[in-house]
């Protein structure tokens, strides 16, 4: 590559026409030849290229370089001010992917319609009348040449550029079967030899490979949704305050730094800023992952995309467009997704050496037969047998069949594996980083403790507190009311009610003056009473939020916490037994994080971690070995994408799930060690399938070259090879 370090520019291209790993290498080589290009990385999963280059090469020249390699490309636009180009491009890719899948589905359906009767007639109708062979020709020709046209086109392009791909193997095998069968049909019409036609061989190969490609496309189809859903969290419109005090609704892209923006109850905050007037509680779970809303007063910062749960306030825009935290999270996700995958497809690596060897053996076989005086026809039959026996059907089935069964079994167990790359990475995990909220814990604040002092019973305290909390909009009040409703409690309406911002609520209930709120506000110096002080300290040491209800001499302590999931401790124990390091990385405070970690058996804790820093922590552990990140919130999306394997809990946000390679539908952390074990089992099956398919070819090709196998026997051997691969893959159905 050319080395120019000054004024480097990053250009992203969308690449069309890639079908395997060797395509990636070819595009990278073509781009790297460009003047002032310092780095060119192509991601096969996203079909995008990232090119670092100097000013001496234009984007048109980069596109032309891709075109010269036999593919097509277009520049992905970037608008540093609007911050929405990623979302728009992701949506465009999604629509393209859906259209491509529809075309593949139609082609697969046509292939199945033609191949089913062709296979049945060929296998079970012997001897056949002459006209039946022409029927097989009529069915087999479109099944091979039309339904499999994509293989032939890509193979031809690869040959034009002096290379081979898996499509070369498919084209060679199916093409050889069709050419030989057509030759036999026309040359020996009316003779016994015309029975020896193998249109079904090529047709079945095409159908099975098309099925595998369609399954792969379905697995990748949701990839472009992550950025779009992330950016959709930001509202499209914002209400700004004009100089004369009037309000005007404008597109978010028109909001500039310094403008005053109004946010009403229930609305999403459009950009990052600082509160100027008013106060409210804002749900910042997309940033912190924590479910309890945070009180905002003048001077506090607010983040674009977060939800204003109550009250109206105005704020001054500080970060807009691509500078907002939401846009930066999207950029981090995109960057991690577009990075170079460490492994390429094993089958494609084999084919890069295997295909030329097979072609050479077939050619040499024919020549040896001709020059030894055994005749062109005999040599042609032996060469065709070599090509048919070397058909990549088993190679093509080795991975998709194991993936089908493995991922299907995973779905039955509540484990969704996004694609083969995620499964491959899951089998190599050495460290697992866990978010706290919604991963180790349930992600929903619940009332966990009520401790009474005085004459109140537990029920009395809950009933009286609920009377006031029913009037409150504070998020903690929801936990109190949920507990009261679960016990079917009834309460009197308060005759007076007052909410004290940031402190609590007070009012008259059943003739008593009742206050509910922060301990130091409700009971003040009485908090120093040994029993109360000890109880508060004990609850807070467990990472719980404590508030107090008081009426006269009666006092009750209420503790709200995000309860640890029942399966967490067992899951972490299973991971440690597998010699996998377990670490907690959370945005929560150190006291709450440490308390939870101690209860579940985690010794390493990183608390108070911001979204961007989570990805950095993942990178640090990646230096030690393959790392998995298990998360639940949008703030986890960059870390999920950065990790070798991202695992999202099923109740997490859509973005986190789409970014992750594995999703646990049952929100059971025990799914993490189970997913890793399933990945190891599936990978072992894939490797055994590939080993068998490769060894099969090594043994059978010489037999075919020696004339010991006719094309018919070669096709039978090929079918047996495929069946053995499928049966081996089906063993995964017994995985527990």
Domain of residue 295, CATH code: 2.70.150.10
Q: How confident is the model at residue 227 (pLDDT cuts 50, 70, 90)?
A: low
- Encode 238-252: b = buried (16+ Cβ within 10 Å), e = exposed: bbbbeeeeeeeeeeb
Q: Which residue has the higher pLDDT, 340 or 459?
A: 459
- Structure confidence at residue 316 (pLDDT): 95
Q: How confident is the model at residue 718, as a pLDDT?
A: 61
| Extended strands (E) in 306-421 | 307-310, 313-319, 415-417
Does 219 score more than 50 pLDDT? no
What's residue 400's pLDDT?
Answer: 67
Structural domain includes residue 615: yes
Q: Are residues 121 and 143 in the same domain?
A: yes
Q: Report the distance separating Cα 443 and Cα 564, nearest Å.
A: 9
- Angle among Cα 322, 326, 331 to the nearest 5 degrees reads 60
Average pLDDT over residues 325-345: 53
Residue whose entry in the numeric block shows the structure tokens 């907002």 = 324
Residue 611: the pLDDT is 66
Which phi and psi angles does 682 have, rounded to 5°? -70, -40
**Looking at the predicted structure, is the pLDDT value of residue 214 above 60?**
yes
Residue 488 CB neighbour total at 10 angstroms: 6
The label of the residue with tokens 């098309």 reads 210
Q: Which of 543, 564, 585 is the last residue of a domain?
A: 564
Pairing of strands 441-453, 554-564: antiparallel
Say what the pLDDT of residue 260 is.
94
65-80 pLDDT per residue, tens: 988 888 888 887 664 4
Q: Which residues pair with 233 in a beta bridge?
A: none
What element of type H or E holds 228?
Answer: helix 225-232
- Those residues whose C-beta lies under 8 Å from the C-beta of residue 314, and which sit 6 or more positions away, are 241, 260, 261, 262, 263, 275, 276, 277, 278
* Residue 435 is a catalytic residue: yes
307: helix, strand or coil: strand
The helix (run of H) or strand (run of E) holding residue 48 is: strand 48-53
What DSSP assignment string belongs to 577-620?
Answer: HTT-EEEEE-SS-HHHHHHHHHHHT--EEE-S--HHHHHHHHHH
pLDDT of residue 640: 86
Count of structural domains, the chain: 6
- pLDDT at residue 222, as a whole number: 45
Q: Which of 215, 213, 194 is nearest to 135 (CA)?
A: 194
Strand partners, 500: 504
Residues 536, 599, single domain; the answer is: no
> Residue 114: phi, psi to the nearest 5?
-80, -35
Mind spelling out the 3-state secondary structure of 234-286?
Answer: CCCEEEEECCCCCEEEEEHHHCCCCCEEEECCCCECCCEEEEEEECEEEECHH
pLDDT at 109 over 70: yes
Q: In the predicted model, is pLDDT for residue 151 greater than 70?
A: yes
- Which of 322, 339, 355 is the endpoint of a domain? 322
| Residue recorded with tokens 């026996």 | 389
Residue 469 forms part of a structural domain: yes
CATH number for the domain harbouring residue 541: 3.40.1110.10
Q: 339, 41 in Cβ contact below 8 A?
A: yes
What DSSP character marks residue 653? Answer: -
pLDDT, mean of residues 617-635: 85
Average pLDDT over residues 6-32: 78
Query: Which among 216, 244, 275 is the end of a domain?
Result: 216
For residues 237 and 115, give the distance between their C-alpha atoms in angstroms, rounded to a whole number: 54
- Alpha carbons within 13 angstroms on the beta-carbon side of residue 635 total 27
Residue 319 phi, psi dihedral angles, 5° rounding: -125, 130
**Domain match, 449 and 553 both:** yes
The predicted pLDDT at position 144 comes to 92
Q: Give the least confident one: 408-412, 422-426, 631-635.
A: 631-635
Q: Which carries the bigger pLDDT value, residue 52 or residue 636?
A: 52
Lowest mean pLDDT among 187-191, 199-203, 466-470: 187-191
Q: Strands, DSSP E only, in 284-374?
A: 294-296, 301-302, 307-310, 313-319
**Is the residue at 363 inside a domain?**
yes
Residue whose C-alpha is closest to residue 155's, from 70, 264, 262: 70
Q: Using CA atoms, how far apart are residues 728 and 692, in angstroms rounded to an integer?
A: 10
Map tokens 């059943």 to a residue.
510
The domain that contains 665 carries what CATH number? 3.40.50.1000
Asked if 437 and 582 sit in the same domain, the reply is yes
Give the lowest-confidence range in 206-215, 258-267, 340-349: 340-349
**What local confidence, expressed as pLDDT, does residue 85 receive?**
43
Q: Based on the number of CB atoms within 10 Å of its own CB, is 455 exposed (0-12), middle (13-18) or buried (19 or more)?
A: exposed
DSSP secondary structure letter of residue 197: -
Tokens representing 61 are 């020249």
Q: How far is CA 566 from CA 439, 441, 557, 572, in A?
A: 11, 9, 25, 11
Q: Are residues 437 and 570 in the same domain?
A: yes
> From CA 62, how far away is CA 408, in angstroms rounded?
41
Q: 392: domain range?
A: 347-414+681-736
Is the pLDDT score of 184 beyond 70? yes
Residue 352 has pLDDT above 60, yes or no: no
Query: In sequence order, what are the beta bridge partners of 509?
Result: 512
Whose structure tokens read 């039309």? Answer: 146
**535 and 450 within one domain:** yes
φ/ψ region of 374 (left if φ > 0, alpha if ψ in -120 to 50, else beta) reads alpha
Mean pLDDT of 24-38: 84
Q: Are residues 556 and 666 in the same domain?
A: no
Question: 190 is written with which tokens?
Answer: 């009316």
192 and 252: one domain? no
Cα separations in angstroms, 118 against 126, 136, 203: 13, 6, 8
Q: Does residue 295 lie in a domain region?
A: yes
Residue 673, pLDDT above cutoff 80: yes
| Residue linked to tokens 């069309």 | 16
Report which secondary-structure segment, H or E, holds 336. Answer: helix 325-337
Catalytic residue among 167, 225, 348, 435: 435
Q: What is residue 200's predicted lDDT score, i.e. its pLDDT?
A: 80
Angle of helix 85-124 relative to helix 130-141, nearest 10 degrees, comes to 170
3-class DSSP state for residue 669? coil
Tell whether 689 and 595 lie within a shared domain: no
Q: Which of 97, 91, 396, 102 is nearest to 219 (CA)?
A: 97
DSSP, collapsed to helix, strand or coil, labels residue 664 as strand
How many Å apart are CA 538 and CA 181, to the nearest integer? 83
Q: For position 601, what pLDDT does the model report?
A: 93
Q: Mean pLDDT over residues 606-611, rounded?
A: 80
Taking only the tens place, the pLDDT of each residue in 449-477 is 999 988 899 999 999 999 888 887 666 78
Average pLDDT over residues 645-659: 65
The pLDDT assigned to 83 comes to 45
Q: β-strand 627-631 against 645-649: which pairing, if any?
A: parallel
Give the mean model confidence (pLDDT) for residues 181-188: 80
Residues 14 and 125 in one domain: no
Assigned domain for 354 exists: yes
pLDDT at 356: 78
Please indicate, yes or no, if residue 675 is contained in any of the structural domains.
yes
CA distances for 322 relative to 194, 234, 304, 480, angstroms:
68, 12, 11, 40
Residue 1 covered by a domain: no
For residue 503, pLDDT beyond 70: yes
pLDDT at residue 653, as a whole number: 47
> What are 283's two structure tokens?
């749900």
User: 678-705 pLDDT, tens per residue?
Assistant: 989 988 888 888 888 778 878 888 888 8
CATH number at residue 41: 3.30.70.100
Is-contact 314 263, C-beta < 8 A?
Answer: yes
Residue percentage of the chain with pLDDT more than 70: 78
Does pLDDT of 423 surpass 60?
yes
Phi, psi of 445 (to 5 degrees): -65, 135
- The answer to whether the beta carbons of residues 675 and 410 sit under 8 Å apart is yes
Instruction: Write down the mean pLDDT value for the chain.
Output: 79
CB atoms within 10 A of CB 650: 16
pLDDT confidence of residue 4: 40
- pLDDT of residue 226 exceeding 50: no
Residues of the chain by 3-state class (helix, strand, coil), percent to 5: 55, 20, 25
Asked, for residue 327, whether it belongs to a domain, the answer is: no
Q: Chain-centre distance of CA 512, in angstroms?
A: 56
Q: CA 270 to CA 239: how far, in whole Å?
A: 9
Which pair of tokens denotes residue 289? 């992952």
Shared domain check, 586 and 670: yes
Radius of gyration of the chain (CA): 33
State mean pLDDT over 128-138: 80
DSSP state of 437: I
Query: Is the entire prediction scored with pTM above 0.85?
Result: no
Q: Is the pLDDT of residue 497 over 80?
A: yes
Q: What pLDDT band is residue 263 in, cutting at 50, 70 and 90? A: very high
Residues 138 and 163 in one domain: yes
């Amino acid at each position: 590559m050319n080395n120019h370090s000054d004024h480097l520019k990053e250009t992203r291209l969308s690449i069309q026409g890639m079908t395997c790993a060797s395509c990636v290498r070819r595009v990278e080589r073509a781009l790297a030849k460009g003047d002032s290009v310092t780095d060119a990385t192509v991601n096969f999963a996203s079909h995008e290229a990232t090119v670092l280059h100097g000013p001496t090469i234009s984007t048109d020249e980069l596109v032309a370089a891709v075109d010269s390699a036999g593919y097509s490309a277009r520049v992905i636009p970037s608008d540093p001010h609007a911050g929405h180009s990623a979302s728009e491009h992701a949506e465009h890719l999604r629509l393209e992917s859906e259209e491509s899948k529809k075309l593949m589905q139609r082609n697969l359906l046509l292939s199945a319609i033609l191949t089913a009767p062709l296979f049945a007639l060929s296998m079970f109708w012997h001897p056949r009348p002459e006209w039946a062979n022409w029927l097989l020709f009529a069915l087999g020709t479109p099944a091979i040449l039309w339904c499999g046209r994509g293989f032939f086109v890509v193979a031809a392009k690869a040959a034009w550029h002096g290379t081979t791909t898996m499509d070369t193997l498919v084209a060679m095998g199916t093409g050889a079967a069709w050419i030989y069968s057509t030759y036999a049909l026309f040359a020996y019409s009316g003779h016994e030899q015309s029975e020896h036609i193998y249109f079904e061989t090529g047709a079945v190969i095409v159908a099975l490979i098309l099925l595998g490609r369609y399954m792969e496309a379905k697995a990748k189809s949701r990839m472009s949704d992550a950025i779009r859903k992330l950016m959709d969290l930001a509202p499209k419109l914002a209400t700004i305050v004009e100089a004369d005090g009037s309000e005007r609704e404008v597109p978010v892209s028109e909001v500039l730094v310094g403008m005053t923006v109004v946010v009403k109850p229930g609305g999403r905050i459009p950009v990052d800023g600082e509160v100027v007037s008013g106060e409210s509680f804002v749900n910042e779970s997309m940033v912190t992952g924590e479910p309890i809303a945070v009180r905002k007063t003048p001077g506090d910062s607010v983040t674009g995309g977060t939800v204003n749960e109550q009250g109206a306030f105005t704020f001054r825009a500080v970060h807009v467009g691509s500078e907002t935290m939401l846009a930066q999270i999207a950029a981090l996700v995109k960057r991690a997704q577009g990075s170079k995958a460490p492994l390429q497809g094993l089958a494609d690596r084999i084919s890069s050496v295997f295909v030329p060897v097979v072609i050479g053996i077939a050619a040499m076989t024919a020549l040896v037969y001709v020059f030894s005086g055994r005749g062109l026809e005999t040599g042609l039959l032996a060469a065709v047998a070599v090509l048919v026996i070397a058909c990549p059907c088993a190679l093509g089935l080795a991975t998709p069949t194991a993936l089908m069964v493995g991922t299907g079994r995973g779905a039955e167990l509540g484990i969704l594996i996004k694609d083969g790359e995620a499964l491959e990475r899951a089998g190599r995990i050495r460290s697992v980083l866990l978010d706290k909220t919604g991963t180790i814990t349930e992600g929903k604040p619940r009332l966990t403790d009520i401790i009474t002092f005085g004459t109140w019973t537990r029920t009395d305290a809950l009933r009286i507190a609920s009377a006031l909390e029913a009037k409150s909009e504070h998020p903690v009040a929801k936990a109190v009311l949920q507990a009261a409703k679960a016990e079917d409690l009834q309460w009197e309406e308060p005759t007076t009610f007052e909410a004290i911002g940031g402190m609590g609520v007070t009012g008259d209930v059943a003739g008593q003056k009742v206050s509910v709120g922060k301990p130091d506000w409700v009971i003040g110096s009485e908090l120093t009473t040994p029993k109360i002080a000890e109880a508060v300290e004990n609850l807070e040491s467990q990472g719980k939020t404590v508030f107090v209800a008081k009426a006269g001499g009666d006092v009750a302590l209420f503790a709200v916490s995000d309860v640890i999931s029942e399966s967490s401790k067992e899951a972490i124990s299973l991971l440690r037994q597998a010699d996998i390091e377990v670490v907690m990385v959370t945005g929560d405070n150190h006291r709450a994080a440490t308390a939870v970690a101690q209860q579940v058996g985690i010794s390493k804790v990183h608390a108070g971690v911001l979204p961007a820093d989570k990805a950095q922590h993942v990178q640090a552990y990646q230096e030690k070995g393959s790392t998995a990140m298990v998360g639940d919130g949008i703030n986890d999306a960059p870390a999920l994408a950065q990790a070798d394997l991202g695992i999202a809990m099923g109740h997490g946000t859509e973005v986190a799930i789409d970014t992750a390679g594995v999703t646990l539908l049952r929100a059971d952390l025990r799914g993490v060690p189970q997913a890793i074990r399933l990945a190891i089992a599936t990978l072992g099956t894939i490797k055994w399938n590939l080993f068998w398919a490769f060894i099969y070819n090594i043994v059978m090709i010489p037999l075919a070259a020696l004339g010991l196998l006719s094309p018919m026997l070669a096709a039978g051997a090929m079918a047996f090879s495929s069946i053995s691969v499928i049966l081996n893959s089906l063993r995964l159905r017994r995985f527990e």
